[in-house]
Amino acid sequence: NSMLLWQRTAFHFQPQKNWMNGQPCPTYYKGWYHLFYQYNPDSAVWGNITWGHAVSRDLVHWLYLPLAVVPDRWYDANGVWTGSATTLPDGRLVMIYTGATMESVQVQNLAFPADPDDPLLVHWVKSEYNPVIVPPSGIGLKDFRDPTTAWYVPTDSAWRVAIGSKNDSQHHAGVVLVYRTTDFVSYELLPGVLHSVTGTGMWECVDFYPVSTESAVGLDTSAASGPGVKHVLKASMDDNKHDYYAIGTYAAASNSWVPADPEKDVGIGLRYDYGKYYASKTFYDPVKERRVLWGWIGETDSERTDLRKGWASLQTVPRTVLFDQKTGRNLLQWPVEEVESLRLSSQEFSNISITAGSVVPLDIGKATQLDIVAEFSVDEAALAGAIGADVGYNCSTSRGAAQRGVIGPFGLLVLADEDLSEQTAVYFYVARATDGSLSTHFCHDELRHARIFLFLSSEANDLAKTVYGSLVPVHDGETLSVRILVDHSIVESFAQGGRTCITSRVYPTKAIFSRARLFLLNNATGVDVTATSVKIWQMNSAFIRPFYERDSAS
Ligand code: DQQ
């Protein structure tokens, strides 16, 4: 439907048409970044899951390739589901993926590049040994999926692969099983579980990787734990469709991982992203020595609408993931530096005062493809007076940017129309306890988005509208800062250098083309706020296009 073309994004990855699912399977091979993604080639809703494939030189400009792995065997007839890539020391690539069998049993299978000399890895073959892992006893036949990238354990002279599951006889616990292998064909289930958290249900798309606590570089998945290295365990909660992670300590000898803070364990603590975000996955990029995170942005409209528009869901921009050395408790996520290559002209504003209860338009011309970096400071004297303000605040139970507090909300209104009837508010909201301590909330308010619906007025309530967010750690002396990527129907925000991130999938009907605007907002009752610096870049499109084999021949 051409009416909806403005909702397609310009620099986020999305297929040409139809349904894309989480979890991406990213990797790097012979000069190219590869993205394999769960894809329905036939329709804009989930089904016929197959591996779509795209390649890029820079993680920003992508070329669509033919389908990589399709469901054509008894062991994957009901879908080629999520998998992972492992690069062996000799450079070979091993892909292990979940197949849903003819009877919908979840088994693990191997796939290999048909021609390892082809850097584009266009053709794939399946192993004659498939399936290589079947559900072990005590595990549900449909609760055994999404094998991780393998890591090598030198003391054991073997590789290990983790697989997510659940254990309903143990208080609905999410669990991670670990297999040992030397040849990727035969696997031995290790005793015990890597980790388990009661009450969290099925863990999908488990990811397990080391992070350096001392330097700002990424680590290969096989980097051993020890001083200066901790391990991140991430799982996608099938019950609530959020991605949770925790940082902890891995002991290969005992096949166990222990979170640093049991109160913030996987499934009950930190999330990668507090918006519309699920089924993410990292890979190690050996070229730039970084760990890169991909996440899946689903739709918040109905399947019926997706079918009409002919496509559904996207990927976030790839994000670099680092341990936050300053807080020591969380990860930092930041758009990969290549995203900055899309920056075109910029405009800079400084020291704009936003008085309590006001909105300030920023005259920047087009406002549908932006990269924004903004810093705010709150009037000190007013802050000192605001003791005991808004202690019980919570983004998701609030009324969003319309709910006025003493020290918030303030921030930006993106994808807004001229009279603000449509907008996504990206804002901070500060609460001050009676002991004087501050806690800072970071939120996205979509409540004023897409009230009008395009096809039938009876579908006006089709969209899930919500206020997203969480607390963001702020250190003494830090200014409040946010980076926001605006891309037609996606708003991706990174607060305080990426300590807390939120992604919104919105459906603008008024803030489109040249009618989209950008504003500063301060809806606090008690404090004036200064936008000390706001830098805004217009963003180029990434022009994702098909790549034909004849191109490579020429
Ligand atoms: N969807 C895939 C599974 C995965 C889930 C199947 C994540 O492999 O667990 O489409 O959304």
Q: Does residue 145 have its Cβ closer than 6 Å to ligand 1? A: yes
Q: How far is the CA of 81 from the centre of ligand 1 (A)?
A: 6
Q: What is the reported pLDDT for 552?
A: 52
Q: What is the reported pLDDT for 382?
A: 81
pLDDT band at 549 (very low <50, low <70, confident <90, very high): low
Instruction: Dump the DSSP string for 106-164.
Output: EEEEEEEES-TT-TT---EEE-TT---B-PPTTS-TTS-B-PPPPEEEGGGTEEEEEEE
Q: What is the reported pLDDT for 197?
A: 98
Q: For ligand 1, atom 10, which residue shows the shortest CA distance?
A: 81
The yes-or-no verdict on residue 454 having pLDDT over 50 is no
Q: What is the reported pLDDT for 210?
A: 98
Angstrom distance (rounded) from CA 62 to CA 85? 19
Q: Does residue 50 have its Cβ closer than 6 Å to ligand 1? A: no
Among 110-119, 375-384, 440-449, the range with the most confident prediction by mean pLDDT is 110-119
Q: What is the reported pLDDT for 458?
A: 37
Q: What is the reported pLDDT for 453?
A: 44
Q: How far is the CA of 279 from the centre of ligand 1 (A)?
A: 7
Q: What is the reported pLDDT for 305?
A: 87
The yes-or-no verdict on residue 460 having pLDDT over 90 is no
Q: How far is the CA of 71 from the centre of ligand 1 (A)?
A: 14
pLDDT band at 461 (very low <50, low <70, confident <90, very high): low
Using most ligand atoms within 8 A of CB, pick from 18, 23, 40 the residue to mutate for ligand 1. 23
Angstrom distance (rounded) from CA 236 to CA 38? 15
Q: How far is the CA of 44 from the centre of ligand 1 (A)?
A: 16
Q: What is the reported pLDDT for 58?
A: 97
Q: What is the reported pLDDT for 546?
A: 82
| pLDDT, tens digit (0-9, with 9 covering 90-100), for 44-93 | 999 999 999 999 999 999 999 999 999 999 999 999 999 999 999 999 99
In the predicted model, what is the mean pLDDT of the chain?
Answer: 94
The yes-or-no verdict on residue 1 having pLDDT over 70 is no
Q: Does residue 78 have its Cβ closer than 6 Å to ligand 1? A: no
| pLDDT, tens digit (0-9, with 9 covering 90-100), for 485-518 | 999 999 999 999 999 999 999 999 999 999 999 9
Cα distances from 66 to residues 5, 36, 48, 50, 123, in angstroms, run: 24, 11, 16, 11, 9
Question: By three-state DSSP, how is residue 513 classified?
Answer: helix
Mean pLDDT across the stretch 282-293?
Answer: 98
Q: Does residue 318 have its Cβ closer than 6 Å to ligand 1? A: no
pTM of the model: 0.96
Q: What is the reported pLDDT for 388?
A: 80
521 CB contacts (<8 Å, ≥6 apart)?
Answer: 354, 359, 360, 401, 409, 410, 411, 412, 413, 425, 427
- Joined tokens for residue 237: 């909660």
Q: Does residue 82 have its Cβ closer than 6 Å to ligand 1? A: yes
Q: How far is the CA of 428 from the centre of ligand 1 (A)?
A: 34
Query: Contact, 34 vs 27, CB < 8 A?
Result: yes
pLDDT band at 102 (very low <50, low <70, confident <90, very high): very high
Q: Does residue 446 have its Cβ closer than 6 Å to ligand 1? A: no
Q: How far is the CA of 178 from the centre of ligand 1 (A)?
A: 19
Query: Contact, 36 vs 68, CB < 8 A?
Result: yes
Burial classification of residue 359, based on how many CB atoms lie within 10 Å of its CB (0-12 exposed, 13-18 middle, 19 or more buried): middle
Q: What is the reported pLDDT for 521?
A: 98
The yes-or-no verdict on residue 400 having pLDDT over 90 is yes
| pLDDT, tens digit (0-9, with 9 covering 90-100), for 174-202 | 999 999 999 999 999 999 999 999 999 99
Mean pLDDT across the stretch 333-359?
Answer: 98
Does residue 409 have a cis peptide bond before it, meaning omega lies within 30 degrees of 0? yes
Angstrom distance (rounded) from CA 119 to CA 247? 34
DSSP bridge pairs for 481: 375
Q: What is the reported pLDDT for 456?
A: 41
| pLDDT, tens digit (0-9, with 9 covering 90-100), for 214-227 | 999 999 999 998 89
Q: Does residue 445 have its Cβ closer than 6 Å to ligand 1? A: no
Q: How far is the CA of 75 from the centre of ligand 1 (A)?
A: 16
Q: How far is the CA of 98 from the centre of ligand 1 (A)?
A: 9
The yes-or-no verdict on residue 547 having pLDDT over 80 is no
Using most ligand atoms within 8 A of CB, pick from 205, 240, 243 the residue to mutate for ligand 1. 205
- Joined tokens for residue 215: 């330097």
Q: Which long-range contacts (CB under 8 A, 24 or more apart) does 384-391 make?
A: 385/526, 386/432, 386/526, 386/527, 387/432, 387/434, 387/436, 388/432, 388/433, 388/434, 389/430, 389/431, 389/432, 389/526, 390/429, 390/430, 390/431, 390/432, 391/431, 391/432, 391/433, 391/434
